Structure formats: structure tokens, C-alpha cells
Structure 1
Amino acid sequence: MKIAALSDIHSNVFALEAVINDAQRRGARQLLNLGDILYGAIAPRATYDVLKKHPFITIRGNQDRQIYESGPADIAANPTLAFILQDLEQAPLDWMQGLPFDAWLFEGDASKEIYLCHGSPSNDLIYLLENVESGSARVRGDDEIISLLDGHRSPLILCGHTHTPRVVKLSTGQLIVNPGSVGLPAYMDDEPVPHSMETFSPHASYALLEWHEAGWQVELVRVPYDHELAARIAANRGRNDWAHYLRTGRGLHSTS
């Protein structure tokens, strides 16, 4: 069975539809969603409606929590958050609050077990694979990643959060896969230090997984879609930064 792993949709329904169509065309029968789903200035409610039509196994991300944990002061200070809450109404909020922090698949077959988390197994805000102390991403050392796994032994571990497609094999034999972001190919953040995450193209990203006798085959897939439409909508909602990320896959400092 082929498995499609998605993460960081960020309300980009246009990218989501393109990824689902591509995954189904390639024979994916299981769909996984690693969180950060509806936060964004594009189409939160439409994204939720599309997701509910498909049999996803879904966990929550940090910005899913940001939506349903927000208070009046958070909303007043964040026009994007105010738009999201107005667009969603109550049913998607109830759905997000019911999502688990993490999940396992194939628990009956240890050789094929898959563990799903958004950031790291202990914290949805921690990057499992990347260190960003320099302001840009570098892959952590083997020992550091193993430490952040916090004792999790699943042969295949799926994570998101950094929007950066990666496949990393550890000395333990474990395979770590980040499928990248469906809906936002770059961003800039101030935590834990100011840094940029960039993929350098506007494509939607996901991972296609298939078990073979030799182990898991992983294909990191880049899907074209109407990113210009998504960028225009974001700009119309006051998010010119998102429009730049969507058009270029680059941080605001990367114009060349």
C-alpha cells in the first residue's frame, strides 16, 4: 500500500487539492496529515471542507493550537488570526481540539511501524531535524536527533513543522522523513532565533511512502499548482510576506 504524508497545509486549499489529486493518481491509499492545517490567510474553511471529504489520519500542529487557544488579546493583535476564526466558525475548532498530539501506524508489525509527530516527539515547537542557530537551517547531528526522539524506536518517523522536505537515516537504522509543506514553501520566524526556512520553489510538497522488502521507499514529490492565485489572496488579506513566500519559496531577504 502506498502512503501519502502531508504536512503544513496552512489553509492553502489550492495546493491541498493538487497534492491529493497527485497522490491518488500515483496510487496512494492512505493519507496522513502531520498538522498546521488551517492557520493562514488563504482559505481556512475551504481547506477544512476538502480534508473532511478524504480519509486522513491527522495529528495537530503548533499553529492548530494557536487558533483554538487564542484569547481576545491574541486576536486583537493578529489580523490573520481574526480572519481565520471568522472564516472557520465553530465546527473546525471543535475538530482541531480533538486531534491527537501524535499517532502510530502498523503497530502490529514492528518492522513497518510508523510514528507521526509535528515537531518532535516531546514538543510541537521543536525542529526535530534542523538546527537554526545560524539563521538558516542545517541538519542536526545523529546523536542530537536520537536524543530528541526521546526513546521512540519506530523504524519510520514522520515529522513536519519546518516546511523543508528531508530524508535522514540514523545510526539506529531509523528513517526520519519530513514531507515538506503542502501550502507554504518558505517562512521567516523569530523563535528560537531569527531564521528563514526556504525551499526555493513555489511547488506544493508531500512524501509518497511504500514498503519493500529492503525497507521503506520514499519519494519527495513537488507538485505545481496555481500558486499565483494563492499569493494574490494572501496579499489581498494584508499578508505580502506570505505572497512572496508562495511565489518564490524564499524568505524576504532572498530576492535574487
Structure 2
Amino acid sequence: MKMAFISDIHGNAVALEAVLADIEKHHVDSIAVLGDLCYRGPQPKRALDRIRSLECPVIKGNADEWVVRGVREGEVPEAKLAMMNDERQWTVEQLESEDLEYLEQLPTQFHWDLNSHLKLHTFHATPESLFDVVLPHESPEHLQTKLMVEEDADLYLYAHIHLPYVRYVGGKCLANLGSVGLPFDGQSKASYVIVDADEERFRVSIERVPYDVEKVAQQYVDNGYPYAGMMRRVVQEAQPPS
């Protein structure tokens, strides 16, 4: 079985279409989405509609939760709270009530049997939280405690941090998808993961896909996105907002 996993689209429909075109070239059996569909991008409605048209498994991310109920104190630095709720309000205004209902009911994790030998556990940030941040350089013990809690799984995939990587810990594989719409590793290319499983063997690959970054940067301005200048820099530099 060959599966493509995408996440953190963040309303970047241009990057999403580039990734879906790339996935088609790989002839995968199925696609799954690990959250953060439309918040903080210039085309939230188009991105969400495109994801829904795939009719594939989708789980909830922290940004999807924020779209539904707002950003709360303690979830982001106090100095950024009002700004991020302004962005959230703009996003909600682009969506319909049925879109919000869809985001609200999304599950938070999936378990997959890749075949009779290999099991996969997927979630957005950690199995217990949509918000916890677990970075690539953490100790093996920390990764096992926070991310690799399902002992019968062979492979663990998550999203949230926008930093793609693959590590082998305790004889098992852990990978982060990076981000389709807002990569934070300095490479302004969309990121996603392909898992190719055959009997007891599997291969995990991080795919990087170029897209029209300047077009997306201009969309923030043309579509009236709040804090458009900040988000233009984020997509152009592939770095987190400062």
C-alpha cells in the first residue's frame, strides 16, 4: 500500500493544488490529511473545499479548533492573542456555517493497518493534545513519551510544527509531515510524506514541491488579509511569524 499524508495547508490553495498534482504522479492508493486546513491563508474557502472534494480521511488540527471557537488565552503568547483572533475572524468570514460544522466534528487521530504486518498511528500534534509542540531534536525518551504512546504501532506520523523530519526511535519510525502551505524550515516549497508499505518493509519519504510563492504572497494583499505584510514574509522566507 502506498499512502500520501498532507497537513498544515493553512488556506494556501495554490500550494495544495501543486501537492495534489505531485501526489497524482506517485500513483498512491489513498490520501489522508492531518489537520490545519484553512486558518492563516489567503484562500481558506478554496482550500477547505478542495480538501473536502478528496473524500479522504481528515483529522483536526489546532488551527481548525481555533477557527471553530477562537484563540484562547494561554494558547499563544499574550502579545499575539488579539492579532491571531483578528486573523481567525477574517477566516470565519470567508467560510459558511456548514464549513464550521465540518471542522468542529473532525476526529483527532487515526489508526491504520497498512497491511497484516504494519500498523500506523497518525495525529496532529500529539495523541493527547492539538497544541503541544514536540520538536525534531527532542530526546528519544521525550519522543516516546509524547508521541509514541501506542505500543502496537510500527510507524507514527504527526504534523503541527511545520518542520519535516524522519527519525528511528526504539526500533520504530517517527516522521513529521512538515507543511503544505506554511513551511518553517527556510525552504519555500510545500512538504508532505509518502509511506510505501510492502509486507514487513516500509519506506517513508519527505516530498518537497515548488509552487508559485509570489502569487500566494500577493493574494494576502489582494484578498484583504489582516497583517498581510507579515504573512507575505512568512511564505516568501518559509519562516515562522516573528
Distance 1:207 1:15, change over 3 A: same
Which residue does 2:88 correspond to in 1? Answer: 81
Whether 1:118 aligns to 2:107 is: no
Q: So what's the TM-score if we normalise by structure 1? A: 0.83
State the alpha-carbon separation in 2 of the partners of residues 46 and 251 from structure 1.
23
User: Aligned pair in 2 of structure 1 residues 170, 241: CA closer, same or farther (>3 Å)?
Assistant: same
Deviations 1:64-120 (A, max 9, x none): 11111128x9889732112111101111111111100111111873x3211111001
- Please tell me the root mean square deviation across aligned C-alpha atoms, in Å: 2.3
Q: How does 1:1-256 map to 2 (within 5 A)?
A: 1-70=1-70, 78-106=85-113, 109=116, 111-128=117-134, 130=135, 139-149=137-147, 151-153=149-151, 154-171=153-170, 173-186=171-184, 199-213=185-199, 215-236=201-222, 237=225, 238-251=227-240
Between the aligned partners of 1:20 and 1:93, the Cα distance in structure 2 is 24
C-alpha distance in 1, partners of 2:82/2:95?
A: 14
- Cα pair distance change 1:148/1:82, threshold 3 Å: same
What secondary structure, in the 3-state scheme, does the structure 2 residue paired with 1:35 have? coil
AA at the equivalent of 1:101: T
Unaligned runs of 5+ in 2: 74-80
- TM-score with structure 2 setting the length: 0.88
Distance 1:30 1:120 in 2: 23
Unaligned runs of 5+ in 1: 131-137, 187-198
1:75–1:81 CA contact under 8 A, matched in 2: no
Q: Could you list the runs of 4 or more consecutive aligned residues of structure 1 that deviate by over 2 angstroms after TM superposition?
A: 73-79, 212-215, 250-253
Would you say how many aligned residue pairs link Structure 1 and Structure 2? 231
Give the share of equivalent positions with the same residue, in percent. 26
